[in-house]
Amino acid sequence: MLEDNTILHGLWSYWTARCGARLMPRRADIDPVDIPLLLPHLLLLETDEQKRFRYRLVGTAIVETYGEELTGRFVDELFTPARRALAMRHYALAFGSARPIAARNRYTNVRGAELIASRILLPLSEDGVNVSMLLIGQTCAYAVPGREGLRRDTVLTEDQVEFLDAGALTPVG
């Protein structure tokens, strides 16, 4: 999923470099000055005491794609039940496994455009063990063949999720 996506590949390379010998970097290890071209495609996701997921920061390209501002809002107040369940499953998997994952799925935005979203969900940890936040990179392409950003031969399932390990992709199942 990352090989043909310069934004997600760039974020993956940056995140792995920031890990060093640790399983995941701290939030303080991520410096926006280092990745200005990636910023429009980034989200920071946190969880509260009730285990609700909240978008702490949402990049401008993502706001444009979704058609509304998501910063500061909870996932459970934003999406349709099916879309919410999918997002929460991905977020819970990344928080619970403390491993980075790649995900790709189809959805329809508030303007009715069918899109294919490609994401990497990268855990951050203040103590080196427990995930405190997710750094998420996301790009979207129109699902209609022939539209900008999507090759005509692209065929995707409704939801693809893979763990990311040292540059290799291992299917979750």
Read off the pLDDT of each residue in 113-128 and give the average, rounded to a whole number. 90
Read off the pLDDT of each residue in 72-98 and give the average, rounded to a whole number. 89
pLDDT level of residue 50 (50, 70, 90 thresholds): confident
pLDDT for 60 equals 95
pLDDT for 14 equals 95
Tokens describing residue 121: 């969900």
Strands of 159-165's sheet in order across? 53-58, 42-47, 133-142, 114-124, 101-108, 159-165, 168-171
| pLDDT at 142 exceeding the cut of 80 | no
% residues pLDDT > 90 (the chain): 53
pLDDT for 140 equals 87
What is the pTM for the complete model shown? 0.84
Q: pLDDT digit string (tens) for 27-45?
A: 999 999 999 999 999 999 9
What is the C-alpha separation between 54 and 72, in angstroms, rounded?
Answer: 6
**Among 172, 151, 147, residue whose Cα is nearest residue 162:** 172
pLDDT for 112 equals 72
pLDDT for 71 equals 95
| pLDDT at 149 exceeding the cut of 50 | no
Read off the pLDDT of each residue in 149-157 and give the average, rounded to a whole number. 39
Read off the pLDDT of each residue in 45-52 and give the average, rounded to a whole number. 91
Read off the pLDDT of each residue in 133-153 and give the average, rounded to a whole number. 68
What are the residues whose beta carbons fall under 8 Å from the beta carbon of 124, sequence distance 6 or more? Answer: 24, 25, 26, 27, 29, 30, 131, 132, 133, 134, 135
Decide: 138 and 122 in contact? Cβ < 8 Å: no
pLDDT level of residue 114 (50, 70, 90 thresholds): confident
What is the C-alpha separation between 5 and 142, in angstroms, rounded?
Answer: 15
Greater confidence (150 vs 85) lies with 85
